[in-house]
Amino acid sequence: MILQSISQSLTADEFILRYGDIDRYELIDGELIEMEPTGVHEQVAAFIGRKLNVEIDHQDVPYFIPHRCLIKLLGTETAFRPDLLVLDQTQLANEPLWQQEPVITFGSSIKLVVEVVSTNWQNDYARKAEDYAILGIPEYWIVDYLGIGGREYIGKPKQPTITICMLVDDEYQKRKFQRSDRLISSVFPQLQLTANQVFSAAC
């Protein structure tokens, strides 16, 4: 995905009103960010969504993956638009905006969030990891199918990597998965999926 900043300052409420239904924008610190996903980026996100939907059915849990959704960070002018989000349907009655807009404000409503890494990988590895942890999202996947993240995140030599962050005492414990490693998920413990299977979706 190619991202570019648009020189325009907005509040989160203004952003939701004007751009909430337009999938190619998110807001970071009042800055409107235009996302231009590539076709391959969408293939990878769709593949993961399909696999997780199967697990939702297998586990018979009240989770679902919305077609579009924003995560609004309360007290900030930031609204992220993740590539994939697994929501807990039993928690949505507590969400103040959900009945009017597909906007989530509480981490307790979210079981898992996935970001497929783009050219602006710093946001996925650093900024979003920090904010998602503060929000209390229990599990966060960073899917770097191109292996473009910094060496401090994916190692050396750089290669395609999936980083799964699990929340422990308000901080993410991060584990890297590469090549034939089977992904380990606390939300979907029976998931049978390797890193290479995800990366193959980009072919």
pLDDT for res 3: 45
Using CA atoms, how far residue 23 sits from 8, 84, 137, 199, in Å, is 18, 12, 22, 24
Round to the nearest angstrom and report the end-to-end CA distance of the chain: 16
Nearest to residue 137, comparing CAs of 175, 103, 170?
170
Say what the pLDDT of residue 8 is: 64
pLDDT at 23: 87
Token reading at 182: 């089977």
pLDDT given at position 7: 53
- Burial category of 92 from C-beta neighbours within 10 Å (exposed 0-12, middle 13-18, buried 19 and up): middle
Is-above-0.85 flag for pTM?
yes
- 10-residue block means of pLDDT along the chain (203 residues)? 58 94 92 88 97 98 96 95 97 96 97 92 94 97 97 95 97 98 98 98 91
